[in-house]
Amino acid sequence: MVAFVRAGETGSFSRVARELGVSQPSISRMVANLEARLGVKLLLRTTRHVAPTDAGRTFLKRARQILGDLDEAENAARGVGWRYRGHSEFAKSSPVCPSSRSSIRNSA
């Protein structure tokens, strides 16, 4: 979802790939997989630019909200974890849900 959001915002798979440290074909595949799962084209592609379709604009709006909510939830959990640091090993364990920005290699 992050790959789609950034592509919709920037208009470029190549730029998103550089930002996220993955190859351009990987970004293209992530978005194509998301489109296949949804059964709808989200981005119009040319050789130099990508732009959201009508469905893509609708999905982009909701996806931004979802990713924002996810970031807020992660930050809230980290805030709670800080209170327990030193009192419990739980605070030192790895997160249940990795940051939406860092998990790009595993999701579209």
pLDDT digits (tens, 9 = 90+) for 25-81: 999 999 999 999 999 999 999 989 999 999 999 999 999 999 999 999 999 998 876
> DSSP label at 46?
-
Residue 95 in this model has a pLDDT that exceeds 90? no
Residues with Cβ within 8 Å of residue 56, at least 6 apart in sequence: 4, 8, 41, 42, 43, 44
Does residue 67 or residue 107 have the better pLDDT? 67
* pTM tops 0.75: no
Q: Which pLDDT score is estimated for 97?
A: 41
Answer for the pair 8, 52: CB distance below 8 angstroms, yes or no: yes
Domains of the chain: 2-106 (1.10.10.10)
- H/E run at residue 82: helix 54-84
Distance CA 46, CA 2 (A): 20
Residues with Cβ within 8 Å of residue 90, at least 6 apart in sequence: 81, 84
